[in-house]
Each structure stands twice: as structure tokens, then as C-alpha cells.
Structure 1
Amino acid sequence: MDRRLIPLVAAAFAVGTDAFVITALLPAIGADLNVTPAAAGQLITVYALTYALAAPVLGALTASLDRRTVLLAALAVFAVGNAAFAVADDYAFAIAARVVTGLGAALITPQASAIAASIAPPEKRGRFLAVVMGGLTAATALGVPLGSLLGAVDWQLTLWAVAGLGVLAAAGIAALLPPLTAPAAGLAARLAPLRDKGVLGIVATTGLVMAAGYALYTYFGAAAEEATGGSQGLLTLMLLAQGIGAVLGNQLAGRLTDRFGPERLMLVVQAAMIGLLAAAPLAFADLVAGTAMSFVFGVVGWMAIVPQQHRLISRHPQSAIVLIGLNSSALYGGIALGGLVGGLSLNWVPITALGPVGAVIGAAGLVLTIVMVRGKAAAPQPAAG
């Protein structure tokens, strides 16, 4: 691995642990803050929505600054937000802490991915992107289960540990990442690629894919209660299976994207996700089936991010940072939408039926990808010579 990627992977690991561990802690957080499961789920939603709205705006405001300085400042905000969440004693303060954390995270992951893409040889771009995204998948495989175990003792301990991860990542960036500059650009310039309908379609697809998965995943701990018998240890086992699957899926995505192209891979991934979500109610009735489903869901779900980044960068290489920032906004916007739709759906369906709700959202994303791929194939090709 290129040495310059190491601190970027560490930062992504910290952000990933923070973003994904909360789902396993929601029952305990909700009980301590005296709110319903649906209200507790909005702690994930507000974080994701903050990230989605802040990423392009903060990116524009910091465009002329040294990238290392920006990353260090963002990780400091991220650590403070998690520390504030750890000491929260009421719901409103917890919501405010998640907003602060989201503001910090919004500057971290897009820059890490864009830097990785900029230093990668063209034929290895998918693999370089997968290395940085590997920090997020490692978080699902290691950070989330370990955080879940800490949460079995006291959920606040998990948040203190995540804040510590942010500090460690900042130390690695200060030690290993050289000064990095990017061309200064205002907000209007950063949003200019949205005039490309193809970019808009790709970004919208990212949002729909994430919304499909998070309509269920936001409430995964509660949905798996029958399969786990309420055991935090068994829930941790299911999350570990999902994390191992995520690591595998992310690495496969990098290689398969470079070999077969991002569009083909996205069609397969989206179809598989729809099938998994539709079958989720059956899997949640049994621990073995639920753990197997969790593993496969990790593989499939984490194969979607790298090809989407690749599609955008290939379309406008000169705007890589802009486009990855927008894609990350769509990613977290999709997480927020999925959490919101899942929470609202609980007024009409049992929690184990959130998988089929997500499958409907996923079907819309698949249709959009099919339309875009067919449109690309039907477009006139440049004349030879």
C-alpha cells in the first residue's frame, strides 16, 4: 500500500466507526434519553443529514487551505462532537452533538478519497479508492463490534473510544501526510458538475442505494432482537459477520470495477441488494439465517460505493474532489432518508418488515441505473480517425 494512504485509511476508520456503531447502541441510548426507538434512530438521521448538507459547502470554504490542516481541524471537531455526545443527558443535547460530529466528518472522507484517486495510476484507480474505503469497512468489521461490546457495559464508553480514534487519526495525519494543496474553487464552481445530467443520475443512484439499505440498517439491532434473544453478544456476532462481509465486498469492488467496469458491477449489486432486503424478514427469525444474511448484506452493500466514485471521476477527472464530495453528500443524504423512511414506516409495519420497504427504494435506484446504462449505450460514438 502507498505510504501516503495510511493516515487517510486511519481517518476513514474513525469516521466509519462513529457512523455505523450507533445502530447497535440505539436501544441503550433511547432508554437513557427516555425516547422511543424511532426517535433514537433520528440521531443517525441528523448526523447523516448534517454531513450531506455540509460536505459541499465546507469543501468550498476550505478549498484554498492546506489539505492536512483541513483534515486535522475536521478531526478535532469530530472528536469534540463525540465527546459531547458521550456526556449528553437529554435528547436535544445529543442531537446537537451529532450535528457537530457530522460537520467534522463532512470534511474528512471526501478529501481522503479524492486524494487517493489523484495519486493512483488510471488502471488502478478502483483499487486505490478501495484502500481508503477499506478504512470504513474495517470500521464495520472491527470498530462496530468492539464498540457494541463496550456499549454492553456503558454506551458512553463507545463514544469516548470513537473520540480517541479521531485523536489517533489526527496524530497519524500530522506525522505521515505531507502538505497537500488543491485548486481553490468557490461553491458555484464546486456545484458546476451538477449541470451534467449523468452526474446528477449517478449521485441520485448513490442516495437511493444507501436509503434502501438504511431503511433497515438504522434499526438493525431492534430488528434482530428475536434472532438474538436480546443478547448484546449475539448482536455483536451478527455485526461482526456484516463487517467481515463489508471488508470482502469493498476489496472485490475495487478489483471488479477495474476489470469489468463500474456500470456492470452496479447493476449486479443493486439487483442483489433488492433480493436481500426483500428476504430479510425470513432471515431475522433465526440466528444462523440472520448472521448469514448479515454477512452477505455486508458484501453486497459495500460493493456499491467504489464503482459510483469511479463513474464520477471518470466522467470529470478534473473535478474529482467536487464529485466525491457530492457523492458523499448523496451517500449520507441517503442514510438520512433511509432512517427517516424506516422510522415513519414503523407506524404501519413491524420492525422486521423494514427490509421490503428498503427493497422498494432499491428498485427505484436500479431502474435509474438501467436507464443511464442504456442511454450511454445508445449515445452516438465519436467517429474514428
Structure 2
Amino acid sequence: MRITDESRSAGYGALLWLALATFSMGIDGYVLAGLLPQIAGDLQVTEAAAGQLVAMFALTGAVAGPVLSALTGRWERRFTIAAALAVFIIGNLIVGLAPDYAWAMFGRVFSAVGGSLLSAVVSSYVVAKAPPERRGRALSFVLGGWLAATALGVPLGLLLGRSDWRVPLFLVAGVGTVALIGILIGVPRLHLPAVSLRETLRPLARPTLIGGLLVATGIMTASYLCFTYATLIIGPRVEGADAMIAAMFGYGVVSLIGNIISGRVTDRFAPVRVITLIICTLIVVALLGTLGLALPGLAGAIAAVAWFLATALFNGGSGVALQSRLSRMAPESVSLVLALYGSAMALGSALGGILGGALLTAGLPADGLLPASAIVLGVTLVLHLTVARATRAPVVTAA
């Protein structure tokens, strides 16, 4: 991808503001899930209806991200990032001030529109600005904002939301506003070569690219098949709600570590090899975790936490390698491809929760979700190797 102007590179000072933007999105993505009872009571709806505020955010983002990315492909990138972040901030303020459920739902949809575009454009900006040999580390630095929020989102939401569930939303808006100011001041402008909408959408006709996106969906499906119901797996083995909060915090921290390691490894080795290693290791972790959960007492508790954190390490490391791989497959349409990646991840998280719920309803014990995730990962590995074999010919990379 050739930059036509604004040759000033984006150093880590500029990337820090982008990471802060993803940090605000990460908190927003996790905080409401831990506050459903408070939201339901305040808005006078059922907890199931309150849960739809989370579901609609993901669904809207999955649909809006690729569409908006394609439509805004000719816009200057810093302006696009700032505009998307502003929409995201306003949406959170609408939810925080919502007098009723309808306004809260409108605010969630509004914020999802901005958040979905922001996520795609930030990643494509980093890919365009970072030197190829440091692209993995630059991506991991910016995506680290999201994973850091994963570590803080659940405990922050539970602590701040005890008094008022709206407070975390104002926190998200405040952090987003600071990031917006920093982006406008410290992030270099970037124009990319004008590409027609038809040319932008052309990669969608490539089966290998669709397969690469489905690999991301498969990894996320396996992850959320267990993560969504982690309380049912770990909860019976640890005592007290604080222990579960600590486990969630640990998941976020270890995910961030995995992200950092993956950024450095992806710069040294081909993303295909990194993805293969991650999927194979996740399968082994799921199978060893299944055996460990059968242990009694303290040994079973240790095995459950060890499985949870090991899964976090490699799930956290998958994002950089997947995005690097996909951007190489279609360098002329990076914004759209990374928007589709976000949709693929959102689809996987939804499918994982749905599949896990269906298996539990059918009578599978919660511990049985681990071998089920291993099966999903096995299918994903076959798909990944098939796509890798089909794309073994040299791929045109960004200049």
C-alpha cells in the first residue's frame, strides 16, 4: 500500500492515542455484560431484554463495519478515525443519559456504528503507517488497548456499577474524549490512493480470503463457547465472587501478554505459521484442561484456572497474526478486510455463546464445553491449513 502524502511516520506517541481509543472501546464492550441486573431494574425491563443492549451492539457492528469502511475508503484516515470516535462517544452519552429502554437501545446502536468503523480504520491506519518489519509490534501495541480494557472492564464495571450502572458509560465517554483530543493533535494525517467501491469490494470474490475470515470466526467461536460460561466451569471450584473477578482480571492481563508476544513473533515469522501454532496449542490446552477438571478438590481448581489463563494467552495472541495475515491477502482493500475481520470476530463470539448455550440445554455438563471447543478448533485448523495451501503462491505485500 503506497502512501501518497503525509510521509511523517506514526511513532509510538501517536499509536498511544489510538491505543487509548481502543481501550475505551474495550471497556464499553465488556462493562454492560456485568451490569445486567442493575440495568434491568433501572430501565424496568427483564434481564434478557437488558442483554439485548449487548447483543445489538455486536450485531450492528458486524453489519455496519464493512459497509462504512467501504463507503469511507476515500476519506482522509485521521479525520475518519476522529469522526468515528466522536460518534462512539456521543452514543455512550446517549445510553448514559437514557430515560428509558428505547433511548438506551438507540444509543447502543449509534455507538456501535462509530465503534465498528473506528476499529477497522485504526487497524488499517497502523498497517499503512508502520514499516513492514515492525507491523506486528505496532498492531499489538494498539490492540493492546482493547485487551487492557478486557482486564479492567469487568472489575471496573462491577465496582463502579454497584452504585449506578451509568457511571461506567461516562467513564468510557471521558476516556474516548481524551483519546479524540490526542488523535487530532498527535496523529499524522494519512491519505491512501483512491480506490473505487467496486475495486474495494473485489477481494470478496476470493474464496481464500473468505476462508481466512472464517478461521478468525472459528477461533472466536471456540473461545466464547467456554468464555461465555466460564463462571459455570470455574465458579464451582473457587469460593466467592471476588475469586471469579480475579480470574477475569487475570484473563485480561494474560491476554495482553499474549498480544505483546504475538506482535514480536509475527514480525519474525510468517503469520500463517504463528496462527497454526496458536490453534494447535489451543487444542492441546482444551484437551489437557478437560483431564485437569476431572481432578478432585484443590487440584481441580488449579487445573481450571491454569486452563483459563493458558487459553487467554493464546487467544490474546491470535488477533495480531490474523490481521497481519488478512492484510497481506488483500493489501489494496485493507480497511474493508479488517472491518470484515471485526465482523468475523463478532460472529464467532455470538456463535460461541449460542452453541455453548445449546449444548448446556441439551444436557452437556459445563466441563464438556472444553472438548467441544477442541472439536471446533480442529475444524478451524483444517480450514486454516487448506487456505494456507491454496495461497502458497507469493502474495503481493504492502510497499
TM-score range, shorter chain: 0.7 to 0.9
Aligned pairs for 1:217-236 (under 5 A) are 217-221=227-231, 224-229=234-239, 231=241, 233-236=242-245
Contact in 1 for aligned 2:61/2:112 (Cα 8 Å): yes
Amino acid at match of 2:375: V
Aligned counterparts of 1:221 and 1:48: Cα–Cα separation in 2: 22
Query: Per the alignment, do residues 42 and 360 of structure 1 end up closer, same or farther by CA in structure 2, a change over 3 Å counting?
Result: farther
Shift of 1:42: 4.4
Query: Residue in 2 aligned with 1:365?
Result: 380
SS of the equivalent of 2:185 reads: helix
Query: Residue in 2 aligned with 1:328?
Result: 342
SS of the equivalent of 1:179 reads: coil
Contact in 1 for aligned 2:78/2:187 (Cα 8 Å): yes
TM-score when normalising by structure 2? 0.83
Contact in 1 for aligned 2:88/2:112 (Cα 8 Å): yes
Aligned counterparts of 1:76 and 1:4: Cα–Cα separation in 2: 18
Aligned counterparts of 1:309 and 1:156: Cα–Cα separation in 2: 33
Aligned counterparts of 1:156 and 1:222: Cα–Cα separation in 2: 27
SS of the equivalent of 2:152 reads: helix
Contact in 2 for aligned 1:56/1:187 (Cα 8 Å): no
- Asked whether 1:21 is paired with 2:24, we answer no
Contact in 1 for aligned 2:229/2:366 (Cα 8 Å): yes
- Asked whether 1:35 is paired with 2:46, we answer yes
Contact in 1 for aligned 2:36/2:47 (Cα 8 Å): no
Query: Per the alignment, do residues 348 and 11 of structure 1 end up closer, same or farther by CA in structure 2, a change over 3 Å counting?
Result: same
Contact in 1 for aligned 2:232/2:366 (Cα 8 Å): yes
Amino acid at match of 1:256: V
Query: Residue in 1 aligned with 2:217?
Result: 207
Query: Residue in 2 aligned with 1:99?
Result: 109
Contact in 2 for aligned 1:211/1:335 (Cα 8 Å): yes
Q: Which deviates more, 240-249 or 187-196?
A: 187-196
- Per-residue CA deviation, residues 240-279 of structure 1 (Å, 9 max, x unaligned), is 1111111110011111112222112111211232344453
Shift of 1:16: 1.5
Q: Which deviates more, 158-167 or 113-122?
A: 158-167
SS of the equivalent of 1:155 reads: coil
Query: Residue in 1 aligned with 2:8?
Result: none
SS of the equivalent of 1:181 reads: coil
In the alignment, structure 2 segments of 5+ residues that lack a partner are 1-10
Shift of 1:352: 5.5
Query: Per the alignment, do residues 168 and 290 of structure 1 end up closer, same or farther by CA in structure 2, a change over 3 Å counting?
Result: farther
Query: Which one of the candidate residues 328, 338, 363 is aligned to 1:314?
Result: 328
Shift of 1:353: 4.5
Aligned counterparts of 2:64 and 2:80: Cα–Cα separation in 1: 14
Amino acid at match of 2:387: M
Contact in 2 for aligned 1:44/1:336 (Cα 8 Å): no
Contact in 2 for aligned 1:22/1:44 (Cα 8 Å): yes
Amino acid at match of 1:257: T
Amino acid at match of 1:361: V
Q: Which deviates more, 282-291 or 14-23?
A: 282-291
- Asked whether 1:247 is paired with 2:256, we answer yes
Query: Which one of the candidate residues 117, 141, 150 is aligned to 1:140?
Result: 150
Query: Per the alignment, do residues 288 and 96 of structure 1 end up closer, same or farther by CA in structure 2, a change over 3 Å counting?
Result: farther
Contact in 2 for aligned 1:85/1:94 (Cα 8 Å): yes
Q: Which deviates more, 25-34 or 150-159?
A: 25-34
Q: Aligned Cα RMSD in Å?
A: 3.0
Aligned counterparts of 1:229 and 1:304: Cα–Cα separation in 2: 31
Query: Residue in 2 aligned with 1:282?
Result: 293
Q: Which deviates more, 245-254 or 358-367?
A: 358-367
SS of the equivalent of 2:282 reads: helix
Shift of 1:137: 1.6
Amino acid at match of 2:314: V
Aligned counterparts of 1:242 and 1:334: Cα–Cα separation in 2: 19
Query: Residue in 1 aligned with 2:267?
Result: 258
Query: Per the alignment, do residues 283 and 130 of structure 1 end up closer, same or farther by CA in structure 2, a change over 3 Å counting?
Result: farther
Contact in 2 for aligned 1:130/1:251 (Cα 8 Å): yes
Task: State percent identity of aligned pairs.
Answer: 37
Amino acid at match of 1:333: L
SS of the equivalent of 2:193 reads: coil
Aligned counterparts of 1:41 and 1:136: Cα–Cα separation in 2: 21
Q: Which deviates more, 306-315 or 267-276?
A: 267-276
Aligned counterparts of 2:285 and 2:194: Cα–Cα separation in 1: 43
Amino acid at match of 2:385: I
Aligned pairs for 1:141-160 (under 5 A) are 141-160=151-170
Query: Per the alignment, do residues 152 and 312 of structure 1 end up closer, same or farther by CA in structure 2, a change over 3 Å counting?
Result: same
Query: Per the alignment, do residues 380 and 147 of structure 1 end up closer, same or farther by CA in structure 2, a change over 3 Å counting?
Result: closer
